[in-house]
């Protein structure tokens, strides 16, 4: 095991358009091969489509969707065998 110091995690900066850390985290998950601008375009286009179809705030809808997906209780891994 490494005996070096523990690396501190840097906080995720919020995105420029919605000022939301959640959107920024989503962009990082979508990003492939370092193409962050393409990932931002994909997310922002999806938000624009949501706004056109539902006439509601896409950020609120996105946050509600993430809340519905997250588990209420933290699941702990159990080793079997």
The predicted model scores a pTM of: 0.78
Res 47: pLDDT: 97
Angle at 53 between CA 37 and CA 15, to 5 degrees: 30
Q: What digits encode the pLDDT tens for the residues 20-71?
A: 999 999 999 999 999 999 999 999 999 999 999 999 999 999 999 999 999 8
From residue 74, alpha-carbon distances to 5, 7, 65, 77 in Å are 27, 24, 18, 10
- Check residue 79 and give its pLDDT: 85
> Taking a C-beta distance cutoff of 8 angstroms, is the pair 75, 50 a contact?
no
* Domain extents in the chain: 21-68
**Are the CB atoms for 15 and 23 separated by under 8 Å?**
yes
pLDDT tens by residue, 60-74 = 999 999 999 998 888
- Whether the pLDDT of residue 78 is over 90: the answer is no
Q: Which among 59, 31, 32 is positioned nearest to 47, based on CA atoms?
A: 59
């Amino acid at each position: 095991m490494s005996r070096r110091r523990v690396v501190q995690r840097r906080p995720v900066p919020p995105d420029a358009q919605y000022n939301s850390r959640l959107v920024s985290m989503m962009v990082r998950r979508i990003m492939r091969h370092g193409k962050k601008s393409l990932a931002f375009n994909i997310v922002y286009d999806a938000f624009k489509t949501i706004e056109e179809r539902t006439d509601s705030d896409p950020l609120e809808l996105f946050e509600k969707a993430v809340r519905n997906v997250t588990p209420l209780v933290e699941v702990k891994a159990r080793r079997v065998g």
